[in-house]
Amino acid sequence: MIQSPLLNNVKGFVAGHWAGARSGKTLAVINPATGEHLADVPDMAGAETTAAVEAAAEALRSPVAAEKRRHWLTETARLLLDNRQELARIITSEQGKPLKESVVEVEYSAGFFSFFAAQLDHLAPEPLPNRIRQMQWTVHRRPAGVVGLITPWNFPLAMLAKKLAPAMAAGCAVVTKPADLTPLTAIALWNLLEQLDVPAGWLNLVIGRPAPIGEVLCSHPAVRLISFTGSTAVGKHLIQATAPYVKRLALELGGNAPYIVLNDADVNVAADALVANKFRCAGQTCVCANRIYVQRDVEQSFVEAVSERVRRLKVGNGMEPQVDIGPLINRAAFEKVDRHVKDAMERGSRRTAGEFSPIPQGDWGAFYSPTVLAGAHAGMLLSREETFGPVIAIETFDTEEEAVAKANGTPFGLAAYVFMRDGERAERFIQQLQFGHVGLNTGTGPAPEAPFGGMKQSGFGREGGVEGLHEFCEVQTVVTP
């Protein structure tokens, strides 16, 4: 069992009080690197979620001034940074990523609370400059209302911070549902939030399986917005389930990111950036490169550069020093990655880095050796599906037009990365890409200060930037004589 001063209460939080499941049922949280039983958390369901929604709706009857909300945000950022090492230990224990990555995740998360604390002036009433029809027109941004926040297991703090910080800034009351595989990080955050003077009902946390909790969030009339990060399949379900109630959605869904290296790129820069981008969180990120397209002129040098770097990576328990890659989240994740690699090799790909990966024991210990495959092509599973694991599969192209067509040849449009030296060529190339986030000569992902989100079946809405704050607002225009 995990012991932590940030886990004095291992429950949900409803209407200002720690709460278990009314059924008494619990869910086990397992360390994916060791199989250790970390904790039992409540398996909350519809009744607890309904109570949380009603508490949030009641809290909204007493709005909180902007300066008080700013104080909450600033203090939350401080609490995260003051407790970064312990929070990182909890993240690594339940998610598996290396401890050094977990520390960065905590710092990244704190950045959202600091950023949105500085953005509240963007919510001030905005008088239109000219009198229209001899009237004064003023645009107000009101809180969206009760919002449901549903977060995934790969970044259990960062994905929560991206949603919770702007919701708090906008003056929304929240009902948060973290992933049932990694709920301890959210519980630890709520233990910290108890130190703030937040009135009961504003910040609710429900722990449990997705279906019964999601059903209430989708159908309860008091919930006006759901912000979700996860698979496109679940996103489509949320669209269907909320359609009868005409609810707003903010969806960050699946990715299938292209990583394009043209013949005038700096091969070493592109190789370094790819390894840093691809193997974060063992490749279990929606923005990491999944389809690697390299112009034929530089294929050999690029494959050699990447393979040499990948062979130096250390796989193991994220708590151990010098580990670069932790386990996959569970056996199902391992089996998907293994299936993709076997399919690619059966279809003509060759392995240039990576060793045979042992089958995991039970549902844990799912370590997969970081792998580089050359000779990939569109007929392979890993070209069509998001692998979500530590595998680099390299495919060649000849012309810019071919590269653009390959990159856009997916229903997804979350992130893309392009490497080339020619600035005019880059501008021409990037404007043809159908992706919400594009890195030019960098594998860098989102930042709190910049809007981030997808195109096509990667969702809609933005997190980060002023746009991320406005996602949690309703616009109201007031006209006066």
Tell me whether residue 281 is one of the annotated catalytic residues.
no
Q: What angle do CA 352, 358, 364 make, to 5 degrees?
A: 125
Q: Judge residue 44's burial from the number of C-beta atoms within 10 Å of its C-beta, 0-12 exposed, 13-18 middle, 19 or more buried.
A: buried
* Contacting residues for 318 by C-beta, under 8 A, at least 6 apart: 33, 92, 96, 97, 98, 99, 101, 102, 326, 327
> From the candidates 172, 286, 288, 473, which is the catalytic residue?
286
Here the tokens at position 166 are: 């702007």
Cα–Cα distance for residue pair 389/286, rounded to 1 Å: 10
d(CA 94, CA 1): 11
Among 182, 124, 129, 125, residue whose Cα is nearest residue 157 = 182
- Rounded distance between C-alpha atoms, residue 208 and residue 320, angstroms: 30
Q: Is there a catalytic annotation at residue 286? A: yes
The C-alpha atoms of residue 212 and residue 190 are separated, in whole angstroms, by 22
* Integer Cα distance of 188 and 43 in angstroms: 17
Q: Report the distance separating Cα 428 and Cα 419, nearest Å.
A: 13
Residue 320 CA to its chain's centroid (Å): 25
Query: For residues 296 and 229, what is the distance between their CA atoms, to the nearest angstrom?
Result: 36
222-253 burial: b if 16+ Cβ within 10 Å, else e = ebbbbbbbbebebbebbeebbeeeebbbbbbb
Terminal C-alpha separation, the chain: 65
Beta bridge partners of 396: 294
281's torsion region: left (phi>0), alpha (psi -120 to 50) or beta? left
> Quick check: 439 and 418 in contact, CB under 8 A?
yes
Residue tagged active-site, from 252, 395, 463, 471: 252
Given a contact cutoff of 8 angstroms between Cβ atoms, the answer to whether 339 and 368 are in contact is no
Sign of the dihedral through C-alpha 244, 221, 224, 155: negative
- Tracing tokens 């905590």 back to the chain, one arrives at 106
Q: What is the C-alpha to C-alpha distance for residues 194 and 200, in angstroms, rounded to an integer? A: 10
Catalytic residue positions, numbered: 252, 286
